[in-house]
Structure 1
Amino acid sequence: MEIYQLRTFVTVAQQGHLTQAAELLHLSQPAVTAQIKALEEEVGMPLFERTAGGVNLSRIGQELLPQAQAILEASRELLYRSRSLKGQLAGRAVIGAITTPEMINIGPWVAALIEKYPLLDIQLQHGVTGGVLNRVRKKELDAGFYIGKNPYVNVNTVHLTEMRFRVVAPPSWRERIASMSAKELGKLPWVGISQQSSLHKLTSELWREMNISPKKITEVDHIPCIASLVRAGVGLAIMREDEATAMQHSGDLVLVGDYGKTTDLHFIYSADREGDPIIEALLTELAAMWKH
């Protein structure tokens, strides 16, 4: 019985599907199937029951899963402990950044990490929030920032702050929208948001609450583009409240009534990295940066 077989067993159990488990493990489906089969032969009983939609744990599989998870956790702790004994923290951390640098406080955080851990190689890769979550889930990123609710059990989340978003309009529309109802606002053009962006879901939820289905005049996946398009008169959109308020004071846009939505900003990392010295270092400096 090998560690890699136990890792495959636990991943299949968590995903309930061989193909999805293979994707996370960076293996082919036949390889995953072969590892499960070899483990079942060694145990002498089936670990899974095959269904039309995937696989479910058998009774013996349910009994063995907690022990398999404990063995994997112990092996990770042994690895992390051995690394910490080498001395000063060193290694690479590839981190997914989203939205704007100011929104996630990326500059001060990285500066603090570099000062405290000079041997830590920090690499930032910008993306949309859905893409960052998926890449952390697949372990293509060590960690990242994410807006919204995390649906994956194999990705840990650390709550950073609550953010309020408001509906904004071009400054030239101030008089036009002054007394408009939600229904009338729904007949105006809106800036659409890419499905990979957290603002897509947030905007969709807001439209449902307003009972509207506006025409999307264009679609973007980069938040700074939203402000530029609204300022230019393209259409309505949602923006972070503090940024929108500042732009309203400068005359670059106008807030539309009290329409808006609230969501959460999280820091995410693979559950398998719990206790990893590099992840712990990231979390420690993050907590200091976001303390209230």
Structure 2
Amino acid sequence: MELYQLRTFVTVAQQGHLTQAAELLHLSQPAVTAQIKALEEDMGMPLFDRSAGGVRLTRAGEELLPRAQSILTSSRDLLNHARGLKGQLAGRAIIGTITTPEMLHIGPWIASLVEKYPLLDIQIRHNVTGVILNQVRKKEIDAGFYIGKNPYVNVNTVHLADIRFRVMVPNGWRERIESGGPKALGKIPWVGMSSLSSFNKLCSELWRELNIAPKKLIDVDHVPIMATLMSVGIGAVLMREDDAIRADADGMGYLVPDVVKTAELQFIYPADRDGDPVIDALRVELASEWRGLGVPAPGAQP
């Protein structure tokens, strides 16, 4: 059974006459007759009763006509959709993400990309910031997010927001910090991120600014684990301000006042891909998402 046979079947059923159907289909009457006969052989039953005045559907033909019409409608829809896709952006985009999806607004951004570019193959890879930066630099991924200063000239950055970070310590150490001030932070252990994380660099910068040299007990690569270890008394942590405020409100730890560290949240991609249609699409939709929010990112300065 072929689509052209179904089209002929529907046209003959609508016209009730082989000659009129042949004219509409731009076929000869023998060709229309041959197609109907072939379809009836495939179906194993007659679809029309013939008479001198024309043709009319059999009971089986009446039963099959709506389904044949539905198939033809679906085929037209498929063809129209394919025509609509012609010329659309296609390709692959491997995107490196960090921290939490809420901070990056990753959900709405990816949703807009999927809607506008259905032929774009989007793949998400989550890791710590230093790994994402190196993967972009080496072109192992197409783009990603990074916190901090980008040291590479072959990586372009798009500034998204300035993120504020705060220090939290276990509740049992509150009195020690309140009496000793920021210098007391150098006399307690810390829970730190791996050397490839921006948190590690931010901690080092903060320690230099405070002129302290605390002991780092544990390296982890997952922010929620850092908060958990802090809450059970293992050590101090550097957290995004919005997370720290919530943790303080929940009684997980003590939010150290007046100690703030700020870093840039960046969208990064290889410099030699400036003007690349895939990168341009990612940038345009990302910019639209951040502008559409009308508010800074979580923990960001206005």
TM-score under structure 2 length normalisation: 0.66
Which whole-Å CA distance do the structure 1 matches of 2:184 and 2:245 have between them?
23
Which whole-Å CA distance do the structure 2 matches of 1:182 and 1:275 have between them?
47
Query: Do residues 157 (structure 1) and 149 (structure 2) align?
Result: no
**The 10-residue stretch of structure 1 (177-186 or 278-287) with the greater mean CA deviation from structure 2:** 177-186
Match of 2:134 in 1: 134
The alpha carbon displacement at 1:257 in A equals 2.0
- Which one-letter code corresponds to 2:228 in the other structure? S
Q: Is the 8 A contact 1:168 1:237 kept in 2?
A: yes
Match of 2:186 in 1: 186
Match of 1:286 in 2: 286
Q: Secondary structure at the match of 2:203?
A: helix
Q: Is the 8 A contact 1:109 1:286 kept in 2?
A: yes
**The 10-residue stretch of structure 1 (193-202 or 179-188) with the greater mean CA deviation from structure 2:** 179-188
Query: Do residues 208 (structure 1) and 208 (structure 2) align?
Result: yes
The alpha carbon displacement at 1:178 in A equals 2.3
Amino-acid identity (%): 64
Note the residue ranges of structure 1 that are not aligned, 5 or more in a row: 1-84
Which whole-Å CA distance do the structure 1 matches of 2:272 and 2:209 have between them?
38
Q: Secondary structure at the match of 1:204?
A: helix
Which whole-Å CA distance do the structure 1 matches of 2:252 and 2:107 have between them?
26
- Which one-letter code corresponds to 2:282 in the other structure? L
Query: Do residues 235 (structure 1) and 245 (structure 2) align?
Result: no
Aligned length in residues: 208
Deviations 1:48-94 (A, max 9, x none): xxxxxxxxxxxxxxxxxxxxxxxxxxxxxxxxxxxxx9601111100
Match of 2:266 in 1: 266
Match of 2:107 in 1: 107
Match of 1:69 in 2: none
Note the residue ranges of structure 2 that are not aligned, 5 or more in a row: 1-84, 295-302
- Which one-letter code corresponds to 2:185 in the other structure? L
- Which one-letter code corresponds to 2:229 in the other structure? L
Q: Secondary structure at the match of 1:103?
A: helix
Which whole-Å CA distance do the structure 1 matches of 2:167 and 2:213 have between them?
15
Deviations 1:209-239 (A, max 9, x none): 1111101111112222211111121110110
Match of 2:94 in 1: 94
Q: Is the 8 A contact 1:100 1:224 kept in 2?
A: no
TM-score under structure 1 length normalisation: 0.68
Provide the aligned C-alpha RMSD in A. 1.5
- Which one-letter code corresponds to 1:153 in the other structure? V
Which whole-Å CA distance do the structure 2 matches of 1:102 and 1:274 have between them?
27
Which whole-Å CA distance do the structure 1 matches of 2:279 and 2:253 have between them?
40
The alpha carbon displacement at 1:180 in A equals 2.0
Match of 1:146 in 2: 146
Which whole-Å CA distance do the structure 2 matches of 1:253 and 1:105 have between them?
27
**The 10-residue stretch of structure 1 (146-155 or 170-179) with the greater mean CA deviation from structure 2:** 170-179
The alpha carbon displacement at 1:253 in A equals 1.8
Q: List 4+ stretches of structure 1 deviating above 6 A.
A: none
The alpha carbon displacement at 1:273 in A equals 1.0
Match of 1:24 in 2: none
- Which one-letter code corresponds to 1:284 in the other structure? V
Match of 1:80 in 2: none
Note the 1:44-123 alignment, pairs <5 A.
87-123=87-123
Which whole-Å CA distance do the structure 1 matches of 2:172 and 2:101 have between them?
29
Determine which structure has more spread, i.e. the larger CA radius of gyration. Answer: 2
Q: Is the 8 A contact 1:168 1:256 kept in 2?
A: yes
Q: Secondary structure at the match of 2:102?
A: coil
Q: Is the 8 A contact 2:162 2:263 kept in 1?
A: yes
Q: Secondary structure at the match of 2:101?
A: coil
Which whole-Å CA distance do the structure 2 matches of 1:192 and 1:162 have between them?
21
The alpha carbon displacement at 1:182 in A equals 2.5
Which whole-Å CA distance do the structure 1 matches of 2:248 and 2:143 have between them?
34
Which whole-Å CA distance do the structure 2 matches of 1:160 and 1:183 have between them?
32
Q: Secondary structure at the match of 1:175?
A: helix
Q: Is the 8 A contact 2:192 2:199 kept in 1?
A: no
The alpha carbon displacement at 1:126 in A equals 0.7
The alpha carbon displacement at 1:155 in A equals 0.8
Which whole-Å CA distance do the structure 1 matches of 2:187 and 2:204 have between them?
15
Which whole-Å CA distance do the structure 2 matches of 1:137 and 1:159 have between them?
17
Which whole-Å CA distance do the structure 2 matches of 1:272 and 1:100 have between them?
28
